[in-house]
Structure formats: C-alpha cells, structure tokens
C-alpha cells in the first residue's frame, strides 16, 4: 500500500526520492508525488496519477525540483479517487507545509468541518489533507513546527506515518508514527525516513524502527527522537542485514518468478540455524515446557496466504501436538469474541508484520491474556515487536505482491515450532520426530530437484491458460494447499478459481462442473490418494479436464485417469504441501504470463494491507 520516503542531506533530494519510491513500487499504488525544499525555489511539489514513470517524466527525472531536502509518496487510494489532486504530498493552504501520510485519520470529517468553519479551503477529498491544514492551524497558533505537530497528533485519531516539511524550516523533516510503520535511516551527512526498509537499503542499514507515539526531527547531521510530550528519547539502533541485491530483479523477468526460484535457499535460511544436534532449538522464543503443558487451545490468526499457511499447519500441529488448533482470519478474530485466556497460545502469521487486521487481532489476543508468537519476515515490523515472542522466517525481501517464498517459509517456520512443542510435550515418537526433522532439512534439495524440470508446468499453463473458471480439489493437506494454489491463480491471472475439499464436491460444487471445466486435482497426500482418485473419476465423468498434481511415485496411477499430471518428489506426508505448492505457484505464474497480466503488481492488490 502507500509508501513514504524522505531525504535530508547535501545532494539533490528529488532523484533520491524518486528512486526510493521506485523501490517501493511493489507495494501497489495508483499515484505518486514528491515535495522538495531548496534555497532557490523554496517549497516545490509535483504529483501525478498513475505509474511512477509519469511522475518521473513530469519532473524530468527530478531535475525540475531542486534542493537537498524532501519527501515522497506512492498512494493507494482509500479516501478519494486516484487522481493528481488526491495524490500526496498535501500542502496546507498558505503553501508552507507539505506532508505525506500513510494510514487513515478516522476523525478527519469532524476536523475538516471545524477547519472549514475557520475559513480553511480544502482541495482534495483525502483524510490526509486534513492533517496538513490542521498543522498550519496549530503552527499559526504557536509558531513552532514541533509543537504544532505535537498538538496535531493529540487531536487526530486513527493510524498514521507522517513525513512533514515546512518552508520555514529549510533543514528539517519531521516524522511521526502511530499504527503504521516508519523507519529512520542514518547515513553520512544525510538521513532518511521510509515506510519500508527497501526504499533506503542502497543508502544505509543503520536504522531506528519508530514506535507508536514517537516524533522525530531529522537534519542532514542528526536525528532526534521524542515521545508524544516532546521529551527527548534515547532509542536503540538496528542493523538491517538484507542484501540490497535481493530487492532487485537481477535479470529475472519478474520478482515473482525470482522469488519462486529463491524458495529452496529461503527455506534453508529459515530451518538450518534452528536445528542443532538433531533437535529443533528455538533460541529466539522464550516458551517453556511448563507453559507448553498448560496450552489448552491454539489459534493461528492471519490474512491472505498467511491464513492459508495456517490452514496447512493446523493439520500438521494437530497431528504433532494432539491439541485443538483453530485458524481464524484476523479480520474475523478481532470481532468474534475469541475464547482466549492465559492458556491460549496465539500465533500471528504475517510476512510483512504490518497487516492491520493481523495486528489488531494480535492486540485483542494480548488484551484477553493469551500468549502470543509472531511468525514474520520483516525484522522490526510492528507485529514482530508487539508479540511476546517472534520467530523470523528470514526469507529476505519479498517484492512481488503475490507471496511465494514468504508463504513457504511460514510453513517451514511453523513446522519448526510444531516440532519444538511436540518435543517439549512428548506428543510425538522419537522416530517420527527424527523423520520429520530430517525431511524438513531436505526440503530445499527436493524443491530444487523439482525446479530443475518445471517446464512441464509451463507447458500445461500454455495449454490451459484460456479457461475462465478453474477448480482446485484435494483432501486434508491437499485441500489446504489447494486454497493457496487457487489464491495464487486468481490474484495474478484474474481467472475465477475456487478450492474445495474433494469430499464436499457432491454437496454443491459438482453442479458447476461441465464438459471442459478445468479441475486441478491435488493428490499428493498419500494416505488419501485412493479417495482423491475417486474424486478425479467423479469430475471426469461430468466432462471435466483434469490437471493433477501428485508425487513421483504416484504419478503412474494418476496418469491412468487424469488428462495431465505434474509430479513432485516425495517427502514426509506432513511436509508434502511445501513441495506441492511450487508447481501451483508456477502454474499461476505462467498462466498470468500467457494472459499478459501485470504479474508483480496485480490490479487492486497491495503487498501489505495497512487499512482495515
């Protein structure tokens, strides 16, 4: 969703701002803008609807705006349609204050009305402009920008990350945060703000993750952080060890394709450091055997693909732990009066660590007294910092909107926690524990084995890309995996697609199967293979075309009935979805490619959804 970048230093700000915005393009946006403050031209603002290229052309690659200080923004419309006027930065009426904002100001209508009664004229439909005008109002009142920011923050409700510049302050950017991520980056004779670390990775790895309620003042030589009463704070720095190249396409046609191919390495990074002496060792989490024994209920809360990772892990954990696991959509969890007490273990799964619904659900779980664990990829993200414990997936930056390595490392991380708890609780036989752990470590090689001959998946995509409606069917873990496979396909190819538990077909969905309907039949879960085959026969009898995904050893049986078969190497049955998902990701990718879709930035979608 929206992206923020800010720069103050000794070089021209505009090209740095445009480049920072380009690094965040993947988040999804519909307009962009920059504001620069310079000694000759004062405060200059340019914005444009559409892709960043339009802004770059408009500003002659930034050359039209001069000065060593500025802010930039990519907007994903919430309040007001995507157009030039609603794009950020927003400028206050007297033209002195420019501001970029991520989040939503919930009481903006009330403030807007009040300001209009004072004669303020608004130009946009956004909630964000209200903050710019309110700042001007308080600045006129008190004459100090930091004080005006403090007063303004006490008045506004909702979520915000703010970057502010003022014509009267030629050397400073002011930043503030509540419930929306904002990072302070320390460079040499230059400093940065960014909503996303990838935007500043080229310049610095020395950062502070701002906390809620904090305000920061940046100049080229210093960053001062204050609490909401403007008392100075001494904040700890963090070091970002992401590889800058990992956030570049590096010759691949799409980030999604690159990230699919990166999965073996990503899973290795998730798993290897956490296995020692044949055991899972989770130094990162402080969960004791005593607490583990008291767990009576487990919730996994998440959105999108992370929710589907939870669906897979429900099967895995219930098998390993013999405890009930409920997977709940974060957007539902927060309003469903969940049954949480101190013996409830709540796992928030989020690649970005910033998904607002997941964050709110996590807070609700904590409020009710549950113990929380975050499974996140982005170090220092809000969810990671608020949970009692965090297990990072260490997948490296994921840029494509549709997740691949984010999802598969969530599976691996949750497999590790499941094994760890099973070990503490003694709910799994040693031989079984060893077998699963050995296979978990072998996953990267087996995945690589499949990736060496994925052309058959590419071929089937070219054969079936023109279907308008596709069904994924499977049982047990195959059903859970099908949910993610179907989501991938619809997200990036815009084909209507649904995933069903095969056993449910005859209770409704089978009426949708007609001659030529494409059914992706998942038959990788060996214990239920025969039942999966019966369902293939059922849909074939109604004229469906069946593309099956199974394991190498079951391929021959599947070929007797399905029209086309893709096979993957065998692993422990609980881990099979980690391999089975790869052909489904590639199938979605190649179908979308054939249909000419914007694979890395599908329409209407955003990488991290920071609004409810």
3-state SS track over 491-504: HHHCCEEEEEEHHH
Query: Which residue, 350 or 372, is less far from ligand G6P as judged by CB?
Result: 350
Residue 486 contacts ligand G6P per CB under 6 A: no
Query: Which residue, 306 or 528, is less far from ligand G6P as judged by CB?
Result: 306
Single out the segment in contact with ligand G6P by CB under 6 A; choices: 89-97, 247-255, 285-293, 398-406. Answer: 398-406
Please list the residues that pair with 372 across neighbouring strands: 346
- For residue 460, give both structure tokens: 């089937």
The least CB distance from residue 374 to ligand G6P, in Å, is 10
Chain positions 288 to 327 lying near ligand G6P, rule: CB under 6 A, are 303-306
Q: Are 320 and 428 in contact (CB under 8 A)?
A: yes
- For residue 339, give both structure tokens: 């049954």
Return d(Cα 591, Cα 585) in angstroms, integer: 10
Residue 393 contacts ligand G6P per CB under 6 A: no
Establish how many alpha carbons lie within 13 A of residue 494's alpha carbon, considering only the half-sphere containing its beta carbon. 12
Residue 477 contacts ligand G6P per CB under 6 A: no
Mark residues 567-606: x for contact with ligand G6P by CB under 6 A, - for none: --------------------------------------x-
Query: Which residue, 91 or 492, is less far from ligand G6P as judged by CB?
Result: 492
Residue 373 contacts ligand G6P per CB under 6 A: no
Residue 87 contacts ligand G6P per CB under 6 A: no
Select the residue interacting with ligand G6P from 331, 393, 608, 610 (CB under 6 A): 608
Mark residues 399-438: x for contact with ligand G6P by CB under 6 A, - for none: --xxx-----------------------------------
Sign of CA dihedral 210, 212, 218, 221: negative
The least CB distance from residue 577 to ligand G6P, in Å, is 16
The least CB distance from residue 393 to ligand G6P, in Å, is 10
Sign of CA dihedral 358, 367, 318, 336: negative
Residue 3 contacts ligand G6P per CB under 6 A: no
Residue 382 contacts ligand G6P per CB under 6 A: no
Residue 331 contacts ligand G6P per CB under 6 A: no
The least CB distance from residue 590 to ligand G6P, in Å, is 19
Single out the segment in contact with ligand G6P by CB under 6 A; choices: 271-279, 351-359, 462-470, 537-545. Answer: 351-359
The least CB distance from residue 397 to ligand G6P, in Å, is 12
Return d(Cα 229, Cα 257) in angstroms, integer: 47
Number of residue whose CB is nearest ligand G6P: 304
Select the residue interacting with ligand G6P from 351, 404, 517, 571 (CB under 6 A): 351
Select the residue interacting with ligand G6P from 23, 195, 358, 497 (CB under 6 A): 358
- For residue 231, give both structure tokens: 């008392």
Select the residue interacting with ligand G6P from 350, 408, 409, 550 (CB under 6 A): 350
The least CB distance from residue 356 to ligand G6P, in Å, is 9
Q: Are 78 and 31 in contact (CB under 8 A)?
A: no
- For residue 599, give both structure tokens: 């694979």
CB atoms closer than 10 angstroms to residue 559: 14
Helix-then-strand count for the chain, H and E: 19, 27
Select the residue interacting with ligand G6P from 355, 486, 502, 524 (CB under 6 A): 355
Return d(Cα 317, Cα 320) in angstroms, integer: 5
The least CB distance from residue 203 to ligand G6P, in Å, is 24
Q: Is 39 helix (H, G, I), strand (E, B) or coil?
A: coil
3-state SS track over 556-603: HHHHCCCCEEEEECCCCCCCHHHHHHHHHHHHHHHHHHHCCCCCCCCC
**Active-site annotation, residues:** 2, 607
Residue 346 contacts ligand G6P per CB under 6 A: no
Q: Are 374 and 233 in contact (CB under 8 A)?
A: no
Single out the segment in contact with ligand G6P by CB under 6 A; choices: 152-160, 349-357, 521-529, 564-572. Answer: 349-357
Return d(Cα 444, Cα 578) in angstroms, integer: 10
The CA distances from residue 602 to 358, 434, 438, in Å, are 22, 41, 37
Q: Are 468 and 495 in contact (CB under 8 A)?
A: yes
Return d(Cα 388, Cα 386) in angstroms, integer: 7
**Total residues binding ligand G6P (CB under 6 A):** 16
Q: Cis (ω within 30 of 0) for the bond into 89?
A: yes
Chain positions 158 to 187 lying near ligand G6P, rule: CB under 6 A, are none
Chain residues in the site for ligand G6P (CB under 6 A): 303-306, 350-352, 355, 358, 401-403, 605, 607-609
């Amino acid at each position: 969703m929206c992206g923020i970048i800010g720069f103050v230093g000794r070089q021209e700000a505009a090209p740095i701002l445009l480049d920072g915005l380009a690094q965040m393009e993947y988040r999804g946006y519909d307009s962009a803008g920059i504001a620069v403050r310079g000694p000759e031209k004062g405060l200059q603002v340019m914005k444009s609807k559409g892709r960043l290229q339009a802004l770059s052309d408009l500003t002659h690659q930034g050359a039209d705006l001069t000065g060593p200080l500025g802010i930039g923004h990519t907007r994903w419309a919430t309040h007001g349609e995507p157009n030039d006027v609603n794009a950020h930065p927003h400028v206050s009426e007297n033209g002195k204050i420019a501001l970029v904002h991520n989040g939503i100001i919930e009481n903006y209508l009330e403030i807007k009305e009040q300001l209009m009664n004072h004669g303020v004229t608004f130009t946009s439909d956004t909630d964000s402009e209200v903050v710019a005008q309110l700042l001007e109002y308080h600045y006129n009142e008190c004459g100090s920008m930091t004080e005006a920011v403090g007063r303004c923050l006490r008045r506004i409700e909702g979520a915000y990350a703010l970057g502010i510049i003022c014509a009267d302050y030629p050397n400073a950017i002011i930043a503030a945060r509540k419930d929306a991520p904002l990072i302070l980056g320390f460079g040499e004779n230059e400093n940065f703000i960014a909503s996303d670390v990838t935007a500043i990775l080229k310049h610095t790895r020395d950062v502070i993750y701002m906390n809620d309620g904090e305000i920061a003042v940046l100049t080229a030589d210093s960053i001062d952080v204050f609490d909401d009463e403007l008392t100075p704070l001494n904040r700890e720095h963090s070091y970002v060890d992401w590889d800058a190249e990992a956030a570049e396409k590096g010759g691949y046609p799409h980030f999604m394709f690159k990230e699919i191919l990166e999965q073996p390495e990503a899973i290795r990074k998730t798993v290897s450091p956490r296995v020692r002496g044949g055991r899972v060792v989770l130094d990162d989490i402080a969960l004791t055997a005593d607490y583990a024994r008291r767990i009576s209920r487990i919730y996994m809360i998440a959105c999108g693909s992370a929710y589907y990772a939870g669906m897979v892990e429900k099967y895995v954990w219930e098998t390993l732990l013999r405890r009930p696991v409920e997977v709940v959509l974060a957007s539902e969890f927060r309003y469903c009066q969940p049954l949480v007490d101190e013996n409830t273990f709540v796992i928030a799964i989020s690649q970005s660590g910033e998904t607002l619904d997941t964050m709110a659900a996590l807070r609700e779980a904590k409020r009710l007294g549950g113990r929380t664990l975050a499974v996140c990829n982005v170090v220092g993200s809000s969810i990671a910092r608020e949970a009692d414990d965090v297990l990072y997936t260490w997948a490296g930056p994921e840029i494509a909107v549709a997740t691949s390595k984010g999802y598969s490392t969530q599976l691996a991380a949750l497999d590790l926690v499941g094994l760890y708890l099973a070990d503490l609780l003694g709910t799994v036989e040693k031989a079984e524990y060893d077998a699963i752990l050995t296979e978990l470590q072998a996953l990267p090689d087996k995945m690589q084995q499949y990736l060496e001959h994925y052309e058959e998946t590419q071929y089937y995509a070219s054969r079936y890309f023109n279907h308008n409606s596709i069904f994924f069917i499977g049982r047990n873990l195959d059903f859970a995996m099908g949910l993610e496979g179907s989501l991938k396909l619809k997200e990036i190819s815009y084909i209507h697609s649904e995933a069903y538990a095969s056993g449910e077909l005859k209770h409704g969905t089978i009426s949708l199967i007609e001659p030529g309907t494409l059914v992706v039949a998942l038959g990788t879960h060996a214990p239920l293979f025969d039942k999966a085959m019966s369902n293939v026969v059922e849909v074939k009898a109604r004229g469906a075309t069946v593309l099956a995904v199974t394991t190498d050893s079951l391929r021959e049986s599947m070929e007797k009935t399905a029209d086309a078969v893709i096979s993957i190497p065998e692993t422990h049955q609980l881990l099979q979805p980690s391999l089975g998902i790869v052909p489904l990701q590639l199938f979605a990718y190649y179908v979308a490619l054939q249909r000419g879709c914007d694979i890395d930035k599908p329409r209407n979608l955003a990488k991290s959804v920071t609004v409810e």
